[in-house]
Each structure stands twice: as structure tokens, then as C-alpha cells.
């Protein structure tokens, strides 16, 4: 455990000094986008990798958090920092409502209901274009007046470190054992006295909160939010990050977010049309040779 804590401290220190080592605005912006995807990937893995619940609603919840925080900042002059928290809490409440309605469902039916929720959210955003900007997007107040990406980098890093630490403590606690037992065999978990509905709902609420925080950070960093944030392709990207990195692990989704974001940056522009082909090949190779993802392969090597 001491070695693990030391590694974490070294990683955090390295992340703190990255802006000093990498002075390119392009790559600092890429790092900021990476934080957004890290928040979404780790929080989605909490419900899928640890609890075994397949949800399509995650990016829709990020969209809700982003738009709630943005609209509060525009119409009520709520500071962006407070808006991020309110956006997260709003999504936690949405997660509670979705959970109460559909967490008694399993498998395909849960996927179908959460996919329908995501489509409803996208439709509402497009229909309420007078307030949301629709497909044209909505200009949003940013965290700082300064255009420097370095300041935003440290905001994203702080939020990500808090989320990762919280998730680490959660998944290594008794609650984490409850969630994993539900994933492995829900019926057996119930026989052992675990209130499976309660802990599934808990997992969904926590995951939804962090999705809302991620969406609000995205909006206030870029100063713009539009319907692309809730697209099904974005949900596919989050799934890809988790699978590539290693589902059901804490650091796997983080590595997956780093890998997919950097590859996406390299192939953008004229190569962007081949992006889905490249990532599809990567997924096929992962499923064939390393089903545990990058983390699974690394653990096998260490053994």
C-alpha cells in the first residue's frame, strides 16, 4: 500500500509540472479535454465495471450538468465554480429518478431505457434552442477572464484528483465489496443480505454526480456547449476508453482516456474520417489479445 501511495504522489507531482514541461497551447488544451474524459470514463466504470449496470445515459447526464451550470451562469450570474457543484447535484438527482424508475430492470431492458433517456435529453436540448442554443451551441461564461489554458489545466487536474481519490476510497471500502458482489451475481448478493437495489441506486447517483461535474467543467472551460456533448458517438468513445484501459479497475479508465484522447488528437483533420476504423481495429485486437485492457495486460506482466 505504501508503494502504491508513493506512485500516486509521484504521478500527481508529474501532472502538476506538466505545463512547465509542455508549453504548447495545443497539448495543454488536449490535456484539459483529457480531464473531461477521465471524469466520464472513471464514473461510468463505477456503474459498469464495478456494479455491472450498462447505461447509455452517461453523456446525457454530462450534458444536463453542463447546460444547468451554463444557464445558471448566464441568467442568474451564478459563479462557474458554484455552477459546477449545482450541475453535479442536479445530475445526482436525475440519477436518483432514473434509478428509481429503471434499476429493477436488467440487461437489455436497462440499456434500452437509459438509451431512451439520452435521446429525450438530446431532443429537449434541440427543441429548447431559444435557451440552449440548439445545434448552434450556447456561449458560456468561463472560469477565468484570462484565455490561458494553464489556469484551466489546474482546475481540471484538481477536480480529477478529487474524483479519483474519492473513487479509490469508495471502491476499496465495504461499499466497493457490495458493488462487486452485485456485479458478480446479484441473486447471491441478495441471499447474503445485501440490499442490491439500494447499492445499485447509490452507485448510479454517485456516477451521475461526477458526470454532471464533468459536463459543467467542459462547458466553462471551452466557453461553449452544444448538442454534440450528448451524441451517441460520445457515449461510444467513453465505452472505448473503459474497455481499452481495463474495465472494473480504477486506473484502467484513466489510461484509456489518455490513450484515446491522444490518438484522436493525432488523427484529427484529414485523418479524422479514419478514426472509427482505427479505434474499431484497436477494440478488436484488445478483445482478442488483452480482454483485460491495458491494466489487465500490465498486471499479467507483473505476475
Q: What does the pLDDT look like over 147-173, one tens digit per residue?
A: 667 888 899 999 999 999 999 999 989
User: How many whole angstroms separate alpha carbon 58 and alpha carbon 151?
Assistant: 27
Q: Is 225 helix (H, G, I), strand (E, B) or coil?
A: strand
What pLDDT does residue 150 have?
81
What pLDDT does residue 270 have?
59
What pLDDT does residue 107 have?
67
- Do 125 and 229 touch, CB atoms closer than 8 A? no
Q: Is the pLDDT of residue 233 over 70?
A: yes
> Where are the extended beta strands (E) located within the chain?
138-139, 224-225
What pLDDT does residue 278 have?
76
What pLDDT does residue 21 have?
79
- Do 129 and 123 touch, CB atoms closer than 8 A? no
Q: Is 289 helix (H, G, I), strand (E, B) or coil?
A: helix
Lowest mean pLDDT among 3-17, 54-68, 234-248: 3-17
Return phi, psi of residue 267, to 5°.
Answer: -100, 10
Total residue count of the chain as it appears in this document: 303
Lowest mean pLDDT among 53-67, 101-115, 216-230: 101-115
Give me the residue spans of the domains in the chain: 27-231
Record the pTM: 0.91
pLDDT band with cut points at 50, 70 and 90 for residue 232: confident
Q: Any bridge partners for residue 224, and if so which?
A: 139
In 46-107, which residue ranges form alpha helices assigned H by DSSP? Answer: 58-76, 80-102
Q: Is 264 helix (H, G, I), strand (E, B) or coil?
A: helix
Provide the 10 A C-beta neighbour count for residue 165: 12
Q: Is 95 helix (H, G, I), strand (E, B) or coil?
A: helix
| Residue, of 237 and 105, whose pLDDT is higher | 237
Query: Average pLDDT, stretch 37-52?
Result: 93
Q: Is 80 helix (H, G, I), strand (E, B) or coil?
A: helix
Query: Average pLDDT, stretch 185-201?
Result: 88
Q: Is the pLDDT of residue 2 over 60?
A: no
Q: Is the pLDDT of residue 249 over 90?
A: no
What pLDDT does residue 84 have?
95
Provide the 10 A C-beta neighbour count for residue 7: 11
* Crossing angle between the packed helical segments 25-45 and 58-76, to the nearest 10 degrees: 120
Residue carrying the nine cell digits 458482489? 181
pLDDT band with cut points at 50, 70 and 90 for residue 137: confident
Query: Average pLDDT, stretch 3-7?
Result: 61
Q: What percent of the chain has pLDDT over 70?
A: 90
Q: Any bridge partners for residue 138, and if so which?
A: 225
**Model pLDDT for residues 61-110, shown as the tens digit of each residue:** 999 999 999 999 999 999 999 999 999 999 999 999 988 888 777 667 78
Query: Average pLDDT, stretch 23-43?
Result: 89
User: How many whole angstroms separate alpha carbon 93 and alpha carbon 71?
Assistant: 18
Lowest mean pLDDT among 26-40, 97-111, 116-130: 97-111
CA distances from 191 to 47, 187, 188 (A): 21, 6, 5
DSSP conformational letter for 285: H
Return phi, psi of residue 50, to 5°.
Answer: -95, -35
Q: Is the pLDDT of residue 299 over 70?
A: no
DSSP conformational letter for 250: S
| Longest CA–CA separation in the chain, Å | 57
Instruction: Name the average pLDDT for the chain.
Output: 86
Amino acid at each position: 500500500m505504501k508503494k502504491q501511495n508513493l506512485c500516486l504522489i509521484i504521478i500527481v507531482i508529474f501532472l502538476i509540472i506538466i505545463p512547465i514541461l509542455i508549453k504548447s497551447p495545443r497539448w495543454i488544451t488536449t490535456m484539459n479535454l483529457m480531464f473531461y474524459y477521465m471524469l466520464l470514463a472513471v464514473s461510468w466504470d463505477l456503474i459498469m465495471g464495478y456494479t455491472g449496470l450498462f447505461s447509455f445515459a452517461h453523456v446525457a447526464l454530462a450534458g444536463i450538468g453542463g447546460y444547468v451550470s451554463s444557464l445558471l451562469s448566464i441568467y442568474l450570474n451564478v459563479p462557474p465554480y458554484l455552477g459546477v457543484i449545482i450541475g453535479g447535484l442536479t445530475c445526482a438527482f436525475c440519477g436518483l429518478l432514473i434509478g428509481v424508475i429503471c434499476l429493477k430492470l436488467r440487461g437489455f431492458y436497462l440499456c434500452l431505457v437509459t438509451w431512451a433517456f439520452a435521446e429525450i435529453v438530446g431532443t429537449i436540448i434541440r427543441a429548447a434552442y431559444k435557451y440552449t442554443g440548439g445545434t448552434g451551441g450556447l456561449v458560456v461564461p468561463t472560469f477565468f477572464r484570462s484565455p490561458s489554458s494553464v489556469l484551466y489545466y489546474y482546475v481540471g487536474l484538481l477536480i480529477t484528483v478529487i474524483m479519483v481519490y474519492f473513487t479509490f476510497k469508495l471502491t476499496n471500502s465495504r461499499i466497493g465489496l457490495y458493488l462487486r458482489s452485485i456485479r458478480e451475481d446479484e441473486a447471491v448478493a441478495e441471499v447474503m443480505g445485501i440490499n442490491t437495489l439500494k447499492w445499485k441506486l447509490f452507485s448510479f447517483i454517485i456516477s451521475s454526480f461526477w458526470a454532471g461535474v464533468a459536463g459543467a467543467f467542459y462547458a466553462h472551460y471551452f466557453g461553449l456547449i452544444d448538442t454534440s456533448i450528448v451524441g451517441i458517438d460520445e457515449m461510444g468513445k467513453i465505452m472505448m476508453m473503459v474497455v481499452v484501459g481495463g474495465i472494473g479497475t480504477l486506473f484502467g479508465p484513466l489510461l484509456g482516456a489518455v490513450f484515446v484522447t491522444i490518438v484522436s488528437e493525432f488523427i484529427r483533420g484529414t485523418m479524422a474520417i479514419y478514426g472509427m476504423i482505427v479505434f474499431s481495429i484497436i477494440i478488436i485486437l484488445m478483445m482478442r489479445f488483452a480482454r483485460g485492457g491495458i491494466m489487465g495486460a500490465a498486471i499479467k506482466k507483473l505476475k
